[in-house]
Structure 1
Amino acid sequence: MHIVYVSDGKAGHRSQAVGLYKAMQRISNSEVTFQEISIQQLPVFTLLKGMLSHQLALFEQKPDYIFGVGSHTQLRVLLLGKVYPQAKTVILMKPNFPFSWFDYAIIPEHDGVAESSHVITTQGALNPIVNEQRHQANRILIALGGSSKRHQWSEEKVLEAIQNIVQHNPNADIILTTSRRTPKEFFAHLSAQPYANQLQIFPVEDTPQGWIFEEMQKAEAVWVTEDSVSMIFEALTAGCKVGMIGIDRLKEDRITQSIDQIIQSNLVSDRASIQALPKPRTFKEAERVATYLLAQ
């Protein structure tokens, strides 16, 4: 079984496609291979020519599935589906085209689209994480985001939340990391706090690729600022207890409503101690979707 992934070069989008591929690889009884093709390698004219011959020279083998994530990949996925009509087209987002033009659209529940023969809904975006059962008691990871189109960074709220986590978990090993959206001056302000010596601080610039996924495998609990929705679901998938650090909201929409909903459903909590967080649940959205696709 061969999967072709049409890539727009964005790491978050690639993570979703790889998550589904890895899940299909784990579940399938046959060998599953994966080829990543950038949209720059797929000019529309080349695809239109390929529709006549039903082949493209740059492909290692004929695909069984064609994945795309991101609005710029959608047209290429559709045209590739015409070049290779035996392949199933899978778009991992709410598409701009009619859903029925794709074999499957995999859409997070917060987008408010009902399931159908062409639509599979998921809790959050898919990711490549599995729970490796390596969590260490009293090990905490704090992962900070920053401002976004719906959130405004609040240094005061974040510092207060970190202080509460430190005070409520006096015997814990606490690892803290930032993101590329975290204000640059925050690191200096955090380092000046009296509780900073109880933290192991790793700015995102100093962490290698895959570092945060490895830390999730070791942490008993992960606290995430609420702007980082994908990281919340990554921590849930890793099997961690998950806490939420609230920051200011610029607007209310389906994303912020989904954050409130996962708190209300007791998947995550805004409490500050490990003991007060909800117990981890089995969270395997990529495997659930892969099982469905392979069964069709």
Structure 2
Amino acid sequence: MLTIWRFLDGNRAHEKQSAALLQGLIELLGNGSVQSCDIDCGKSSFWLPGALQRVLDAAGAMDIGSPDFLIGAGHQSHLPMLAARRRFGGRCVVLMKPSLPVSLFDFAVIPEHDRPPPLPNVLTTLGALTGPLPEASVQSNTGLILLGGPSRHFAWDCAALERDIKQLASGSVRWTIADSRRSPASTLLRLAQPGFTVAPWSDCASGWLERQLASVGQVWVTRDSISMVFEALQSRAQVGILDLPSRYRKNKVYSSVQRLVDLGLVTTSLDDAFTTDATGRAPLNQYLQIASALLRRCNLDFSR
């Protein structure tokens, strides 16, 4: 039985990555071969005496035994993971480039665009880990447009996006357009075209995006939204990029998306929305690849 302690910092994006890795281990080993608990480290003051033990007790960590893996993402998870490993053993797996030295962790899962150091404990990914989508029948004549917003890497060019989205709308695809927390006010109403289904992020229930991605034939994402690009790559849909102007020359997010273009995983050509049916594309499944690599490096048998 593999025992996993998962450290949560309250950041939904971080927690989705650690959940994806946990799911990968479960799929490889079988549901009955993995036990796990979630440890909330986002609000506790771990410098106080006994704080770690109180958090572990609240999570029921001691009820399932000492960990084989301690998994976490985000700065607030780093010290609690290391403190728990020192006391109870196991291997620390940090997701994303940590704020502490990589050498402190047993394994670090770091995207290429963060320029991971060439160390033996580093596992490199194309981008953020995302878990499997729900099972659904793909409707090839449907599409999803996902909008991000201004960021430190990209300026927001609403006029250019409006031009590109109008071109997408000229075809026969039935489109749904959705914004996000970062989208400027009124952006969604300006960019939605006649006949579009409009989905404000504040109106979408939990799991809405995953269900949409599982069923549409194509997904177009604004270039700033690298996390949504990788979520889209977990689908079977064709994935396209809506371009935005870069704020500076050395832009790691731009380079990461360009790497996906070079690998043929995404397209930047709007013409592909009319000529390509890629509904049979295989999901990227990085979560399984990293889970498999961890088990191999630890000499654990993952045959079911």
Q: TM-score, normalised by structure 2?
A: 0.87
Query: Are the aligned partners of 1:28 and 1:294 in contact in 2 as well (CA < 8 Å)?
Result: no
Partners of 2:213 and 2:145 in 1: CA distance = 10
Partners of 1:65 and 1:132 in 2: CA distance = 29
The answer to whether structure 1 residue 235 and structure 2 residue 235 are counterparts is no
The counterpart of 2:261, out of the listed 251, 260, 263, is: 263
Structure 2 unaligned segments of length 5 or more: list them.
Answer: 299-304
Query: Are the aligned partners of 2:134 and 2:210 in contact in 1 as well (CA < 8 Å)?
Result: no
The counterpart of 1:211, out of the listed 208, 211, 214, is: 208
Partner of 2:146: 143
The counterpart of 1:162, out of the listed 165, 183, 195, is: 165
Query: Are the aligned partners of 1:243 and 1:269 in contact in 2 as well (CA < 8 Å)?
Result: yes
**CA deviation vs aligned residue, 1:131-157 (integer Å, no higher than 9, x gap):** 736211111011111111111211101
Q: Cα offset for 1:179?
A: 0.5
* Cα distance change, pair 34–276 in 1 and its aligned pair in 2 (3 A): farther
2:256 partner amino acid: S
Q: Cα offset for 1:185?
A: 1.7
Partners of 1:162 and 1:74 in 2: CA distance = 42
Partners of 2:266 and 2:10 in 1: CA distance = 31
Q: Cα offset for 1:27?
A: 0.8
Compute the RMSD of aligned alpha carbons.
Answer: 2.2
Tell me the SS of whatever aligns to 1:237. Answer: coil
Aligned length: 285
2:21 partner amino acid: L
2:169 partner amino acid: V
Partners of 1:181 and 1:157 in 2: CA distance = 18
* Cα distance change, pair 63–117 in 1 and its aligned pair in 2 (3 A): same
Partner of 1:91: 94
* Cα distance change, pair 277–179 in 1 and its aligned pair in 2 (3 A): farther
Deviates more, 1:110-119 or 1:213-222: 110-119
2:46 partner amino acid: P
Partner of 2:301: none
Partners of 2:282 and 2:29 in 1: CA distance = 24
The answer to whether structure 1 residue 153 and structure 2 residue 156 are counterparts is yes
Partner of 1:16: 17
Partner of 2:8: 7
Query: Are the aligned partners of 1:47 and 1:80 in contact in 2 as well (CA < 8 Å)?
Result: no
Q: TM-score, normalised by structure 1?
A: 0.89
Partners of 2:287 and 2:11 in 1: CA distance = 19
Partners of 1:47 and 1:150 in 2: CA distance = 41
Query: Are the aligned partners of 2:177 and 2:188 in contact in 1 as well (CA < 8 Å)?
Result: no
Query: Are the aligned partners of 1:140 and 1:219 in contact in 2 as well (CA < 8 Å)?
Result: yes
Query: Are the aligned partners of 2:129 and 2:287 in contact in 1 as well (CA < 8 Å)?
Result: yes
Partner of 1:33: 35
Query: Are the aligned partners of 2:128 and 2:230 in contact in 1 as well (CA < 8 Å)?
Result: yes
1:255 partner amino acid: V
Q: Cα offset for 1:117?
A: 2.5
**CA deviation vs aligned residue, 1:10-38 (integer Å, no higher than 9, x gap):** 00000000000011111114522232212
Partners of 2:227 and 2:180 in 1: CA distance = 13
